[in-house]
Amino acid sequence: MEKSNKSRNIALEKRQIDAAKLNPAHFAPLYDLYFKPIYIFVFKKVKNEAVAGDVTSKVFLKALLNIKKYKHMGFPFSSWLYRIASNEVNLHFRASNKNTTVEILENDVVSLLEEIKSPEDIKAQEMMINALNDLPLPTAELIEMRFFEKLSFKEIGAVLGLKPVTAKIRVYRALEKLKKQILHAK
């Protein structure tokens, strides 16, 4: 049952994309469906409602202007939007000469500690946060997409322009780096 619903949703989304390619007025259902998750993704990085709104508007404007160039490559349409959003956030930070930040929720840290099989006490949580801060930005972004944004390897691959298997390998290498940093800190 769930698989047939997913197939119907994919087919519906494809029809919406095709309609938007023919007439930009038909982009509205895609906007309505993806605005909130893209806004949240941007807001978690910029930490400012007004800036998040501006950046999200740019994401959807670029998507609307380039919808005719969109080609389904086996990745969800949302992956294309996340990629545009990631690029727009990076442009924002380059323009304002600021660093990106990541909001880390306690349950995200706990699940990450579980993933690397580390104790889940307060000291371990503090070490995890420090280790995440010390990771190079591309490595930290992989961890963020997989464990905080809950993106699939296929979606991560689409955002970064990688094959899903390559995204998976990179995520697990990032986890190994994180694990080594935590073990080294003890």
The 10s digit of each residue's pLDDT in 141-182 is 788 888 877 888 888 888 888 888 999 999 888 888 877 777
Asked which of 96, 131, 158 is the last residue of a domain, the reply is: 96
Is residue 172 one of the residues assigned to a domain? Answer: yes
Domain count, the chain: 2
Alpha carbon distance 28, 22 (integer Å): 13
CATH number of the CATH domain containing 117: 1.10.10.10
Residues 178 and 111 in one domain: yes
Is residue 56 one of the residues assigned to a domain? Answer: yes
Residues 139 and 168 in one domain: yes
Q: Containing domain of residue 156, as a range?
A: 106-185
Dump pLDDT digits (tens) for 112-149: 666 666 665 667 667 777 777 777 777 777 888 888 77
DSSP code at position 105: -
pTM of the model: 0.60
| Distance (Å) of CA 145 to CA 44, 134, 138, 162, 168 | 12, 17, 11, 14, 11
Residues 51 and 112 in one domain: no
Residues 128 and 64 in one domain: no
Is residue 101 one of the residues assigned to a domain? Answer: no
Q: Residue 103 pLDDT more than 60?
A: no
Residues 92 and 110 in one domain: no
Alpha carbon distance 58, 122 (integer Å): 40
Asked which of 65, 96, 127 is the last residue of a domain, the reply is: 96
